[in-house]
């Protein structure tokens, strides 16, 4: 008797969005791990980024850690997200190779369930908050083929919305510190302007003493 293939479209995750937060970097230019950065007022960039994805419309969040992963895990464990069932933490074993490695670890974890899309965000964009995430998700067409990213006064940035139809191809091309840059450059990526909400700039040069 031939066993029928499961109806993947009936999976409860098939129409939902999974946030992937890349927080593995060592932050050498700033003097410390990206996942452990804080503002002068004590606000954690890691926890703020998780909240932006959580409150912006992601039904699950995968946090990718690398440098000082144990300390970052402790930070999450002592926060309001400690028992949050939507949060998964994964370690990128070769995070030193660059963003491509971290992104691969996040996408591999996301592929364990059949999400409609993943929304990739970076931890070192402190002014990209819930409003940006909500706008990008809200202005993305339905379906699994969408490829959309936030722009800031026309400059491409993050978060990046990647429909699941693109995931396999992106993972094949991931190399070094470029992440999905080459793939996005070769495809028709729709921009969602968010310059009125944030600068979208990383802060590699700011590290509180």
Please check whether residue 117 lies inside any domain of the structure.
Answer: yes
In a domain, 202, yes or no: no
C-alpha angle 208/46/14, rounded to 5°?
A: 160
CATH number where 90 lies: 3.90.550.10
* Cα-Cα-Cα-Cα dihedral sign, residues 153, 119, 98, 30: positive
pLDDT at 13: 66
User: Backbone phi, then psi, for 199, in 5-degree steps?
Assistant: -85, -25
State residue 174's pLDDT score: 83
Task: Output the pLDDT for position 9.
Answer: 43
As a whole number of angstroms, the distance between CA 121 and CA 128 comes to 9
Would you say residue 110 lies in a domain? yes
Q: Determine contact, residues 19/119, Cβ cutoff 8 Å.
A: yes
Domain tally for the chain? Answer: 1
Running along the chain, 209 residues long, what does each successive block of 10 average in pLDDT?
Answer: 35 81 85 87 96 97 97 97 95 89 94 94 95 98 95 96 95 77 89 97 53
| Complete DSSP assignment for 79-121 | STTTT-TTEEEEE-TTGGG-HHHHHHHHHHHHTTS--SEEEEE
Q: Where are the beta strands (DSSP E) in the chain?
A: 17-23, 60-65, 87-91, 117-122, 147-152, 155-163, 190-193
In terms of pTM, does the model score above 0.75? yes
Beta carbons within 8 Å of 168's beta carbon, 6+ residues apart: none
Residue 63 lies in a domain: yes
Q: What is d(CA 206, CA 29) in angstroms, rounded to the nearest whole number? A: 9
Q: Is residue 4 included in any domain, yes or no?
A: no
Residue 151, domain member (yes or no)? yes
- 119 occurs within a structural domain: yes
Query: Residue 127 is part of which domain span?
Result: 14-193
Q: What is the DSSP letter of 189?
A: P
Residue 158 lies in a domain: yes
């Amino acid at each position: 008797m031939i066993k029928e293939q499961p109806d993947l479209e009936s999976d409860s995750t098939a129409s939902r969005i999974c946030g992937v937060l890349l927080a593995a970097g060592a932050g050498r230019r700033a003097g410390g791990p990206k996942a452990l950065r804080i503002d002068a007022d004590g606000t954690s960039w890691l926890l703020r980024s998780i909240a932006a994805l959580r409150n912006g419309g992601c039904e699950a969040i995968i946090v990718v850690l690398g440098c000082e992963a144990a300390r970052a895990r402790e930070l999450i464990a002592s926060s309001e997200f400690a028992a949050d069932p939507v949060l998964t933490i994964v370690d990128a074993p070769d995070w030193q190779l660059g963003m491509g490695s971290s992104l691969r670890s996040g996408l591999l974890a996301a592929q364990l369930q059949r999400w409609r899309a993943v929304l990739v965000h970076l931890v070192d964009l402190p002014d990209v908050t819930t409003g940006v995430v909500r706008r990008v998700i809200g202005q993305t067409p339905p379906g699994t083929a969408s490829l959309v990213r936030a722009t800031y006064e026309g400059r491409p940035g993050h978060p990046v919305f990647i429909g699941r139809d693109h995931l396999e191809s992106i993972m094949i091309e991931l190399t070094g510190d470029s992440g999905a840059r080459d793939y996005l450059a070769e495809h028709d990526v729709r921009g969602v302007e968010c310059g009125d909400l944030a600068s979208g700039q990383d802060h590699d040069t700011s590290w509180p003493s």
